[in-house]
Amino acid sequence: MEQGRIRIEILDSAAAIAAIGCGYVFLSCLGSTIYFTSQKLRLNTERKSKQTLISIFGEQPAFVWILKNDVEIQIPFEAMQAGDIIVVNAGEPVPADGIIIYGNASIDQHVLTGESVYIEKNIGDPVFASTIIISGRVHIQVEKAGQETVAAKISTILRDTADFTASVESLGQEIADNSVLPTFAISAAGFPLVGVHGAVALLSSDFFDTMRIAAPLSMMNFLNIASNQGILIKDGRSLQILPTIDTVVFDKTGTLTSEQPYISKIYASTDLQRKRF
């Protein structure tokens, strides 16, 4: 009992005791073993999925190269601070947010913007942590490092979004708890009709119990799939209300345009006929 409510664990215990009382000792033990094994697998899967989700923006190099008195010096990533001039070569991730003060580069920043096209950056252009230098070599004056970068803030958002599965699990737990008394009632009503063995079977058939396991796991899985596709979900509740959404407003089109443009319609500005085009 908790806050005057019978929890699902009471039903599970009653079903196990009733099964043992009817002589189904092996089946009762087997069912309990399968249940607790699935719980352990669920917790491990959630932990790994959460780590994967957060690490998309959290991975950083152990060391960075800074330019000091025209000499490149390797320092630990944690020692980097605003004002430093870092050197980043092709194939390396940008370790901090800053401004290019020397060189130019082609940068893959799809993890931040979702755009598949590499962006050409020159002197004076901003660059962001967790993006990748595809070609070129640049010197970057650090403006934000560590937890102050855009990527770190996105990682924090993802961590909060991943924690939203706890509220989903609570909702599943509440639904499962609310099913306890109806399940007891159905089992009691079925006893005169199907006998003691049938009543025990009805007592063990609480399908709502699976919701507290499947709901948070499926939510974490969807968040993980979305992040791997470059989709950042800032609030997990948006997935819950998705079936009721009928309008979506996009504030930019760079992530929606096709890599291969095509002509859909021509508007002639002169007397020339469209067919001539």
138-155 residue pLDDT tens: 999 999 887 778 777 777
Indicate whether 133 pLDDT > 80. Answer: yes
d(CA 64, CA 74): 6
C-alpha closest to that of 36 among 6, 59, 63, 16: 16
What does the domain layout of the chain look like in residue ranges?
A: 8-55+163-228, 63-153
Q: Distances from the Cα of 68 to the Cαs of 62, 74, 81, 105, 139, in angstroms?
A: 19, 10, 13, 21, 11
106-123 residue pLDDT tens: 998 877 776 667 889 999
pLDDT number for residue 240: 72
CATH class of 63-153: mainly beta
